[in-house]
Amino acid sequence: MGTGTLTIDLDAVAANWRALDAMSAADCQTAAVVKADGYGLGAGPVARALAEAGARRFFVAVAEEGAAVREALGPGPEICVLSGHMAGDTELIRGRALVPMLNSAEQLARHLEALPGHPFGIQLDTGMNRLGMKAPEWAAVRDLALVARPSLLMSHLACADEPGHAMNPAQLRAFRALTDGCGVPRSLAATGGVLLGPEYHFDLTRPGVGLYGGLPFEAARPVVRLALPVVQVHVLAAGETVGYGATWQAEDEAVIATVSGGYADGLIRRMSGRAVLFADGIPCPLAGRVSMDLLTVDVTHLAEVPEALEILGPQQTVDDLAAAAGTIGYEILTALGARYARRYLGDGRGGVR
Ligand SMILES: *Cc1c(COP(=O)(O)O)cnc(C)c1O
């Protein structure tokens, strides 16, 4: 087979959800964020596994993603849309029973007019300046909104992956000031917020990246493996070069494996000269530049060149690879390409340890 194989361990996703769920009190619900096609791993299979594990509420970025998750889950679970109720979303929100998290007075007016009685939540801005109503806007519509009985008041932390950051307590105070006494369930924490401790949990947490094995959830079980088949092996004489720009030069006789996978598959070009692949646990450095469909790897030190090399797995997590590429695990995950053969392990019911 010419394409790489991406193996996604759904039991590990389920185990990560359970582990994050166990960090908050029993009366705090743990949702699951499955936006961006389940962080690149497939929203349908991931959402089904999380539902098996016990998740009852899911978050997506846009209504179209919500429709796909509804397709996968069927009726029942609540699917919340972080971008709220955009013009043109009404039919999807109604037809697929989605719950928009309304971000502005304009969205609130649109929702109450287009779909009176249809569930909604409110997103408040506590300092990130990205989504949600700020204090004056919320003060202006608060009574009207509360009469219509929102199912959730939520906000999002800008620096939750830095536990000592002053933004965290400041946003916590701002969130309390905006929501105390409203009598509506509240949510502030994503993965990082869950790890900050109980005062950040409120009634519902919304982890995403931790479910998929990413930082800041250090105790996460790894979820993905990515094996890239060796297409060809070249033996180079000293002085010969590899790849575009001839940036890598053999000092001695060298053996270079060409593997299937490149920047078109999310293995971004910044990894050139920095990332390693693994052959049965033995690290093999990239040689030369990442190209669109191929990587070239120095395998001179191997006794035998295997049929495939692993770029993601227990030896190198998404965050390790991200560090080599100068980015974050989130970006590596969501960039994983459409050309890989995808193999799903488990169904969310296993993975109990
Ligand atoms: C993406 C997102 C989450 C999940 O964040 P993670 O850091 O992946 O856990 C939760 N809430 C909102 C509003 C988000 O945008």
- Residues 205, 59, single domain; the answer is yes
**Is residue 64 domain-resident?**
yes
**Is residue 351 domain-resident?**
no
- Residues 75, 150, single domain; the answer is yes
- pLDDT score for 353: 44
Shortest-distance Cα residue to atom 11 of ligand 1: 190
Structure tokens at 163: 């536990």
186-187 sheet: strands from edge to edge? 32-33, 57-60, 78-81, 98-102, 121-123, 152-154, 186-187
- Residues 69, 115, single domain; the answer is yes
**Is residue 235 domain-resident?**
yes
Cα–Cα distance between 92 and 86 in angstroms, integer? 11
- pLDDT score for 134: 97
201 lines ligand 1 (CB under 6 A): no
Instruction: Provide the residue range defining the domain that includes 259.
Output: 224-345
pLDDT by residue for the chain (353 residues), tens digit each?
689 999 999 999 999 999 999 999 999 999 999 999 999 999 999 999 999 999 999 999 999 999 999 999 999 999 999 999 999 999 999 999 999 999 999 999 999 999 999 999 999 999 999 999 999 999 999 999 999 999 999 999 999 999 999 999 999 999 999 999 999 999 999 999 999 999 999 999 999 999 999 999 999 999 999 999 999 999 999 999 999 999 999 999 999 999 999 999 999 999 999 999 999 999 999 999 999 999 999 999 999 999 999 999 999 999 999 999 999 999 999 999 999 999 999 988 765 54
Catalytically active residues, by annotation: 35, 244
- Residues 270, 324, single domain; the answer is yes
- Residues 178, 243, single domain; the answer is no
Cα–Cα distance between 102 and 118 in angstroms, integer? 12
Q: What is the CATH number of the domain that holds 79?
A: 3.20.20.10
**Is residue 15 domain-resident?**
no
CB 251, CB 238: distance < 8 Å: yes
Q: Where is the domain boundary, 211, 240, 271? A: 211
Q: Where is the domain boundary, 189, 211, 233? A: 211
- Residues 257, 298, single domain; the answer is yes
Within 10 A of 247 (CB to CB), how many other CB atoms are there? 13
H/E run at residue 249: strand 248-249
**Is residue 352 domain-resident?**
no
**Is residue 216 domain-resident?**
no
Q: What is the CATH number of the domain that holds 332?
A: 2.40.37.10
77: preceding bond cis by omega (within 30 degrees): no
Cα–Cα distance between 332 and 41 in angstroms, integer? 11
- Residues 154, 247, single domain; the answer is no
209 lines ligand 1 (CB under 6 A): yes
- Residues 82, 200, single domain; the answer is yes
207 lines ligand 1 (CB under 6 A): yes
Residue 110 CA: distances (Å) to CA of 83, 113, 136, 142, 148: 13, 5, 19, 15, 13
Q: Is 293 helix (H, G, I), strand (E, B) or coil?
A: coil
- pLDDT score for 131: 98
Q: Where is the domain boundary, 190, 211, 232? A: 211
- Residues 181, 250, single domain; the answer is no
Amino acid symbol at 122: I
- Residues 37, 125, single domain; the answer is yes
- pLDDT score for 349: 79
**Is residue 273 domain-resident?**
yes
- pLDDT score for 347: 83
**Model confidence pLDDT, tens digit, residues 287-323:** 999 999 999 999 999 999 999 999 999 999 999 999 9
- Residues 239, 321, single domain; the answer is yes
**Is residue 2 domain-resident?**
no
Pocket-testing residue among 23, 24, 33, 187, ligand 1, by greatest number of atoms within 8 A of Cβ: 33
208 lines ligand 1 (CB under 6 A): yes
Q: How many domains does the chain have?
A: 2
- Residues 131, 201, single domain; the answer is yes
**Model confidence pLDDT, tens digit, residues 193-205:** 999 999 999 999 9
